[in-house]
């Protein structure tokens, strides 16, 4: 019965095996600057290499690590490289990884307070610490009508809030009778908002035709006046506006929607205001950058950012705060007999299963706690400042250049640039970056022109890396 009762038979080796894996990981990590950032694999390469049938023999850990070297390593993308400027960073700080290991190995399943008081109450308090650290208004504090919860991703968070808003606006009829009984509900976000908003509109049964992509100004920020006009036009046409997602730091160019003005229209017409600060929220750890990130947060119904992007909590960890938790709980709560228990019935406890789509949940708060406690807010803030300095330097080079120009104002650590000769030249420059091996960058379109996104934010990036990127660009594209 090898492999059964493993803690008894293998408890002597767990600590040792984990140490072996950690050494292997440290060695892998040491190759980061000598590896190509993008995987050299073509589609199907790994599938061709891997056996089609699961081998029937079992192997030991060292053999397993050998299989990983052979079959997995070639397919890795080095999101941890200091030359990683693609999409947004997805950092995993060592302190977070230790917390993740602890959370996994303690084996808690936090669906109910009763199923793990530790998973529940540590999450409540860790989210309160984080709220204080980023300066999110008291309106979202622990102990008030709202509170915080860890979701897996901002996509799940916006879906949860949209469903809560949908049900709140229809007095629960959308939930009980169904969407066919409540007419057309409309949802708003800028045409630069994240795709997850439209996806949520679709999942919640509202229909893509009822999603209003509000136009943006020349800096890619939502036109608040256009938003108000669209809401009024929809009401005149018999629709019920229910939800607006304001973005603080758009995915393409890092633009900040004017949340204060958006909030006024939401208040006037009873819309739920959700703020998506998935990437930019981390910068609020730093007082220097906080004010614009938090502008208008005082009027939001929900506010979300992803510590698994820039902050260093390894994926997944998306933090959502509610001003009032009741609409969310009303939307999510179903209690079958087998989940009934005295603490829940008492109403004294938080049961986090009622705060999201999933029933089960892992102990994610530990990785956040270890990062906050062992790295600390000050060091994380200094990291953000460092990244913004690098981005500022790069933006200055672009502005001084004859070949390139900024495609949008620099936003925190994000610089969008394009070649002055148009899309073909910009594409060539992007291809040069991605063919080099040391760097990764991705693109967006702004004002219908191609732009290269340089998102500076990995844990190890230094001036030399950004300088090398700029040298490559300058050399490849003389004006």
CB 269 within 8 A of CB 241: yes
Q: Which is nearer to a second copy, 84 or 401 (CB)?
A: 84
Shortest CB 166 distance to a second copy, Å: 8
By CB under 8 A, the residues from 220 to 259 that bind a second copy are: 251-252
- 440 vs 67: CA distance, rounded Å: 27
Q: Which is nearer to a second copy, 141 or 395 (CB)?
A: 141
Could you tell me which residues come within 8 angstroms of residue 156 by beta carbon, excluding any fewer than 6 positions away? Answer: 318, 356, 357
Shortest CB 191 distance to a second copy, Å: 10
- Helical pair 224-236 and 259-269, crossing angle rounded to 10 deg: 20
Among 23, 31, 70, 399, binds a second copy (CB under 8 A): 23
3-class DSSP assignment, residue 108:
coil
Shortest CB 306 distance to a second copy, Å: 8
Q: Which is nearer to a second copy, 200 or 244 (CB)?
A: 200
Residue 464 near a second copy by CB under 8 A: no
CA distance from start to end of the chain: 71
Q: Which of 223-231, 282-290, 330-338, 406-414 is the region at the interface with a second copy (rule: CB under 8 A)?
A: 330-338
Residue 324 phi, psi (nearest 5): -140, 115
Q: Provide the CB-side half-sphere exposure for 466 (13 A, CA).
A: 25
Shortest CB 154 distance to a second copy, Å: 8
Q: Which is nearer to a second copy, 42 or 400 (CB)?
A: 42
Residue 68 near a second copy by CB under 8 A: yes
Among 35, 37, 83, 122, binds a second copy (CB under 8 A): 122
Residue 168 near a second copy by CB under 8 A: no
Sheet holding 211-214, edge to edge: 147-151, 318-322, 302-305, 272-276, 240-247, 185-190, 211-214
Using CB under 8 A, count the residues that bind a second copy.
172
**Which DSSP category does 84 fall into?**
B
3-class DSSP assignment, residue 426:
helix
Residue 185 phi, psi (nearest 5): -100, 140
**Which DSSP category does 41 fall into?**
P
Q: Which is nearer to a second copy, 77 or 226 (CB)?
A: 77
- 56 vs 65: CA distance, rounded Å: 18
Shortest CB 190 distance to a second copy, Å: 12
Among 226, 329, 374, 403, binds a second copy (CB under 8 A): 374
By CB under 8 A, the residues from 269 to 298 that bind a second copy are: none
Tokens of 95: 């302190």
Among 73, 235, 420, 435, binds a second copy (CB under 8 A): 73
Could you tell me which residues come within 8 angstroms of residue 90 by beta carbon, excluding any fewer than 6 positions away? Answer: 79, 308, 309, 315
Q: Which is nearer to a second copy, 299 or 308 (CB)?
A: 308
- 450 vs 444: CA distance, rounded Å: 6
Residue 351 near a second copy by CB under 8 A: no
Q: Which is nearer to a second copy, 242 or 263 (CB)?
A: 242
Residue 215 near a second copy by CB under 8 A: no
Residue 459 near a second copy by CB under 8 A: yes
Residue 472 near a second copy by CB under 8 A: no
- 357 vs 82: CA distance, rounded Å: 35
Residue 331 near a second copy by CB under 8 A: yes
Residue 39 near a second copy by CB under 8 A: yes
Q: Which of 23-31, 216-224, 268-276, 405-413 is the region at the interface with a second copy (rule: CB under 8 A)?
A: 23-31
Q: Which is nearer to a second copy, 186 or 401 (CB)?
A: 186
Among 161, 206, 222, 275, binds a second copy (CB under 8 A): 206
Shortest CB 382 distance to a second copy, Å: 5
Among 35, 36, 115, 282, binds a second copy (CB under 8 A): 115
CB 170 within 8 A of CB 176: no
DSSP labels, 315-378: S--EEEEES-SHHHHHHH----GGG--HHHHHT-S--GGGGSS-S----THHHHHHIIIII-HH
Among 144, 270, 376, 422, binds a second copy (CB under 8 A): 376
By CB under 8 A, the residues from 392 to 451 that bind a second copy are: 442-445
Shortest CB 318 distance to a second copy, Å: 9
316 cis-preceded (ω within 30 degrees of 0): yes
């Amino acid at each position: 019965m090898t492999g059964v009762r493993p803690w008894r038979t293998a408890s002597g080796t767990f600590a040792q095996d984990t140490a072996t894996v950690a050494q292997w990981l440290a060695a892998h990590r040491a190759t980061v600057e000598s590896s190509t950032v993008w995987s050299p694999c073509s589609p199907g390469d790994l599938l061709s290499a891997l056996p089609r049938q699961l081998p029937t023999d079992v192997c030991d850990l060292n053999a397993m690590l050998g299989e990983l070297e052979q079959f997995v390593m070639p397919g890795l993308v080095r999101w941890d490289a200091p030359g990683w400027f693609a999409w947004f960073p997805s950092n995993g700080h060592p302190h977070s990884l230790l917390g993740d290991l602890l959370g996994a190995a303690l084996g808690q399943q936090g669906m109910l307070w009763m199923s793990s008081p530790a998973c529940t109450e540590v999450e409540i308090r860790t989210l309160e610490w984080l709220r204080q650290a980023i300066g999110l208004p008291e309106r979202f504090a622990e102990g008030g009508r709202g509170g915080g919860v860890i979701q897996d991703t901002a996509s799940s968070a916006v879906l949860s809030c949209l469903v809560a808003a949908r049900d709140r606006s229809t007095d629960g009829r959308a939930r009980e009778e169904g969407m066919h009984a409540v007419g057309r509900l409309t949802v708003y976000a800028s045409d630069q908002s994240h795709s997850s908003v439209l996806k949520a509109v679709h999942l919640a049964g509202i229909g893509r035709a009822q999603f209003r992509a509000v136009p943006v100004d020349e800096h890619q920020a939502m036109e608040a006046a256009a938003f108000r006009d669209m809401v009024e036009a929809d009401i005149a046409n018999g629709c019920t506006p229910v939800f607006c997602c304001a973005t603080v730091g758009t995915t393409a160019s890092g633009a900040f929607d004017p949340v204060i003005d958006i909030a006024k229209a939401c208040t006037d017409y009873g819309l739920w205001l959700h703020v998506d600060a998935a990437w930019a929220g981390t910068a609020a750890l730093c007082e220097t950058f906080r004010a614009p990130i938090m502008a208008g947060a005082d009027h939001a119904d929900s506010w979300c950012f992803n510590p698994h992007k820039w902050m260093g909590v390894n994926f997944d960890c998306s933090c959502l705060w509610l001003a009032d938790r009741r609409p969310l709980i009303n939307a999510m709560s179903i209690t079958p007999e087998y989940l009934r228990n005295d603490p829940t019935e008492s109403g004294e406890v938080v049961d986090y299963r009622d705060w999201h789509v999933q029933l089960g949940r892992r102990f994610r708060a530990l990785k956040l706690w270890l990062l906050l406690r062992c790295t600390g807010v000050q060091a994380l803030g200094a990291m953000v400042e460092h990244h913004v300095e690098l981005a500022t330097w790069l933006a200055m080079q672009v502005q001084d250049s004859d070949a390139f120009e900024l495609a949008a104002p620099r936003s925190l650590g994000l610089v969008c640039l394009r070649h002055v000769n148009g899309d073909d030249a910009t594409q060539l420059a992007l291809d040069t970056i991605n063919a080099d091996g040391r760097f990764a960058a991705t693109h967006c379109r702004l004002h219908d022109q191609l732009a290269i996104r340089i998102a500076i934010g990995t844990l190890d990036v230094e001036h030399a890396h950004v300088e090398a990127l700029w040298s490559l660009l300058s050399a490849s594209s003389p004006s």
